[in-house]
Structure 1
């Protein structure tokens, strides 16, 4: 007979990300962030390849990245509103964790499994931050998907790419919960 963890299940059934614009200071200290990072690294990882790594962005780094996004958007002649959205993701933040997908060359573990492990790390970081009492959200955007920006501003190596930017901070307000998927519409039961 299973021994359920009711508190963990209740957390998972009610968890919800918090919009980054609702997050402010204080943010976790490095000591408070270590268990969150530890939980984020405790994900399915076939072959123990660690096909991801974390970059913790503190406020000065976020301000530098906001300026880099502004400059890169101008280089690309992007729409000013689109540039502003990418800039704001860094300019308005106080702490973020970039999850970088790191390619591992192996015939044993398919690339897709490595990619899914990086995605699992993103969700685990969000859930660990929420479970620790912080607000958190997983974002991406044009800037982090732009190879030139990722290389110049984030220092990514060839073949690496951003799986997610996890914003963490103190929640100032919670928007209403959004509608959740209709399980009947997304579930197929196979009995034979």
Structure 2
């Protein structure tokens, strides 16, 4: 597979089984994250590995967060989150080590974390693993972030569920990039994707 074939075949996978990447494989995957654009060299990404017996404990913290944010959260949603956080081969909490008073704007710091996360997903795929980036309102909960080691002003950017895809699937069909591309010649552009 060429590097371009690898990029074009990546898709989010949430039906994951053991094994997760080994320590050496994960080190190489996370090294790819360090190649993300990073204005100011702030390195705002932080990775919190949740594996083994720590997974059910993290799941209970996530459930507590959900209930803090919505005391009437539906039971099926709570159970789904509990099950997924408890059983995924590896969960990586995506931390944003933010510096609000720095000359680099916060949005650029957050985008660096997002770019690094995409590198992680691509590297996982290149190594034969799968992953999916999950978020939701719990990523805005400062209590959960602090419990994971990210006290304010630091935040969560979500979680990666990581493992081996349970089955080989064809990547989903993606839209034609031409729908999202326009050449600017002096007047505002329009995109065919916005005309649907």
TM-score range, shorter chain: 0.7 to 0.9
Q: TM-score, normalised by structure 1?
A: 0.85
| SS of corresponding position for 1:13 | helix
Give yes or no for the alignment of 1:129 onto 2:124.
yes
Deviation at 1:67, TM superposition (A): 1.8
Superposed, 1:147-162 pairs within 5 Å as: 147-152=142-147, 154-162=148-156
RMSD, matched Cα: 2.0
Q: Distance in 2 between matches of 1:17 and 1:156?
A: 26
Does the Cα contact within 8 Å between 1:59 and 1:93 map onto a contact in 2?
no
* Greater percentage in helix: 1
What's 2:183 paired with? Answer: 189
What's 2:19 paired with? Answer: 26
Unaligned 5+ runs, structure 1:
1-5
Deviations 1:83-132 (A, max 9, x none): 2233233112121222211112311x222111100101111111111101
What's 1:3 paired with? Answer: none
Give yes or no for the alignment of 1:110 onto 2:105.
yes
Q: TM-score, normalised by structure 2?
A: 0.84
Give yes or no for the alignment of 1:85 onto 2:84.
no
| SS of corresponding position for 2:171 | coil
Does the Cα contact within 8 Å between 1:51 and 1:114 map onto a contact in 2?
yes
Unaligned 5+ runs, structure 2:
187-196
